[in-house]
């Protein structure tokens, strides 16, 4: 089979297209013929060594993907062979990601993909949708699970709603019944966040975004899904309701965070940090189940018309796919693996 591998950390040029033997699924695992592989910032961060040196002699990158199960290991129902699936955390703690014609994952990390959902949808789910789910389910007053109605009456602020995670936050929050506000940096991203389903968009670089958000949500925002805590903490606190939650999944821009302890205390604010790798199996399993339900409801479409342009590369150009993610291309970067 064709596979992309790297042996040492470094720039995108360390990625090589090679031929490898088909991997065999072990007990509790499935083998998947990958149709589309999804690329996330964590993939180039792992490749570059920014997230620490690689632990394996050879790594096939990428956590996310979608395809068809073609073999199962001991203990897995043979009826799963032929099932269309989306994958999450494929390369987490293992050297076998989705940038290959076949990959092997624990059976529970291959989630059934309904016939009406394309492989592009499936490959775009993993990291963004599971992160968004966690961001929306860590508030003191709940909910812990998402379904239609779970966020009725709540106001969610999706920072950077034209980003891959921001897009998933908008879609899942909207599916669950929230009023969704998204911040964006300009009109093109406003168009995308609106297409994703945001009820309101606010340009965080112009005017008085806090006043605009307060005008939309006079009682304050219940949950902020934050991509740039250092840049946005003052704004978040200015719009957060009492006992509200700031769910922080990144600090893009890298601005240092200085906490005004009294301000957080007075608000009884919850500042929740999150990263998928250490969220724990229960939270990840719950997220995968709820995201699968949202997919069945058709709530997580992708593509420009749904607020997430697709930027595609063939497998042999995976290095260019990494370059695109690294420079912050707008939309979802996908690698076409098999036809
Ligand atoms: N914790 C986790 O488990 C987890 C999971 C997934 C991703 N992440 C991290 O989350 C970040 C985003 O990932 P992604 O895949 O969504 O990337 P992406 O598609 O490139 O989106 C990033 C978005 O953030 C926006 N942004 C940057 N600074 C902002 C600010 N000050 N205020 C509001 N929006 C801002 C950008 O838009 P503008 O530049 O136009 O504002 C862009 O739309 C990355 O750092 C990634 O590593 C963490």
Pair (65, 106) in one structural domain: yes
Cβ atoms 123, 64 nearer than 8 A = yes
**pLDDT tens-digit profile of 95-130?**
999 999 999 999 999 999 999 999 999 999 999 999
| Site residues for ligand 1, CB cut-off 6 Å | 40-42, 127, 131, 159-160, 162-166, 183, 185, 189, 204, 227-228, 231-232, 249-250, 252-253, 274-276, 328
**pLDDT tens-digit profile of 48-91?**
999 899 999 999 999 999 999 999 999 999 999 999 999 999 99
Pair (166, 88) in one structural domain: no
Cβ atoms 43, 64 nearer than 8 A = no
* Any domain includes 285: no
Pair (99, 207) in one structural domain: no
Task: Give me the residue label for tokens 């090589």.
Answer: 16
Q: Ligand 1 pocket check: which of 89, 227, 324 to mutate, most ligand atoms within 8 Å of Cβ?
A: 227
Pair (313, 202) in one structural domain: no
Decide if pLDDT at 339 tops 80: no
Decide if pLDDT at 133 tops 90: yes
* Any domain includes 295: no
* Residue 154 CA to ligand 1 centre (angstroms): 23
* Residue 233 CA to ligand 1 centre (angstroms): 15
* Any domain includes 290: no
Q: Structure tokens of 51? A: 């997230």
- Supply the mean pLDDT for the chain: 97
Pair (107, 137) in one structural domain: no
Decide if pLDDT at 265 tops 80: yes
DSSP string, 266-329: HHT-EEEE--GGGS-HHHHHHHHHHHHHHHHTT----BGGGTB-EEEEEGGGHHHHHHHHHTT-
Name which residue sits closest to atom 46 of ligand 1, judged by CA: 41
Which pLDDT does position 237 carry in this prediction?
98
Pair (6, 109) in one structural domain: yes
Distance CA 133, CA 144 (A): 9
Pair (118, 164) in one structural domain: no
* Any domain includes 294: no
- What is residue 60's three-state secondary structure? strand
Range of the domain at 172: 128-277
211-215 long-range contacts, CB within 8 A, separation 24+: 213/157, 213/181, 213/238, 213/239, 214/238, 214/239
Distance CA 171, CA 307 (A): 10
Pair (101, 132) in one structural domain: no
Mean pLDDT for 334-338 is 98
* Any domain includes 120: yes
Pair (111, 135) in one structural domain: no
CATH number of domain containing 43: 3.90.180.10
* Residue 72 CA to ligand 1 centre (angstroms): 36
Query: In 104-136, which positions are buried (b, 16+ CB within 10 angstroms) versus exposed (e)?
Result: bbbbebbbbbeeebbbbbbbbbbbbbbbbbbbb
pTM for this prediction: 0.98
* Residue 30 CA to ligand 1 centre (angstroms): 32
Pair (137, 268) in one structural domain: yes
- Which ligand 1 atom is at minimum distance from the Cα of 183? 33
Domain count, the chain: 2
């Amino acid at each position: 089979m064709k596979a992309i591998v790297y042996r040492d950390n470094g720039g995108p040029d360390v990625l090589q297209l090679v031929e490898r033997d088909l991997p065999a699924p072990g007990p509790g695992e499935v083998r998947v013929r990958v149709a589309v592989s999804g690329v996330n910032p964590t993939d180039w961060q792992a490749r570059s060594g920014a997230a620490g040196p690689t632990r394996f002699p050879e790594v096939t990158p990428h956590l996310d993907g979608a395809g068809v199960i073609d073999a199962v290991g001991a203990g897995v129902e043979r009826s799963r062979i032929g099932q269309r699936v989306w994958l999450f955390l494929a390369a987490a703690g293992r050297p076998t990601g989705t940038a290959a014609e076949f990959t092997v994952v624990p059976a529970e990390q291959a989630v059934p993909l309904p016939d009406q959902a394309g492989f592009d949808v499936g490959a775009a789910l993993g990291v963004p949708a599971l992160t968004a789910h966690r961001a929306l389910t860590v508030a003191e007053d709940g909910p812990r699970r998402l379904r239609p109605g779970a966020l009725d009456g709540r106001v969610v602020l999706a920072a950077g709603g034209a980003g891959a995670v921001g897009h998933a936050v908008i879609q899942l929050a909207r599916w669950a019944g929230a009023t969704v506000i998204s911040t964006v940096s300009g009109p093109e991203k406003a168009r995308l966040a609106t297409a994703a389903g945001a009820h309101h968009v606010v340009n965080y670089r112009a005017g008085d975004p806090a006043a605009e958000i307060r005008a939309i949500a006079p009682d304050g925002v219940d949950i902020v899904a934050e991509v740039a805590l250092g840049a946005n903490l003052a704004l978040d606190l200015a719009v957060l309701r009492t006992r509200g939650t700031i769910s922080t999944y990144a600090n893009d821009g890298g601005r240092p965070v200085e906490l005004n302890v009294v301000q957080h205390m007075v608000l009884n604010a919850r500042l929740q940090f999150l990263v998928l790798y250490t969220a724990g199996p229960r939270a990840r399993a719950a997220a995968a189940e709820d995201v699968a339900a949202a997919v069945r409801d058709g709530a997580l479409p992708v593509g420009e018309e749904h607020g997430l342009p697709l930027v595609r590369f063939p497998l042999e150009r995976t290095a260019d796919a990494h370059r695109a993610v690294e420079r912050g291309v707008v939309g979802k970067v996908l690698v076409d693996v098999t036809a």
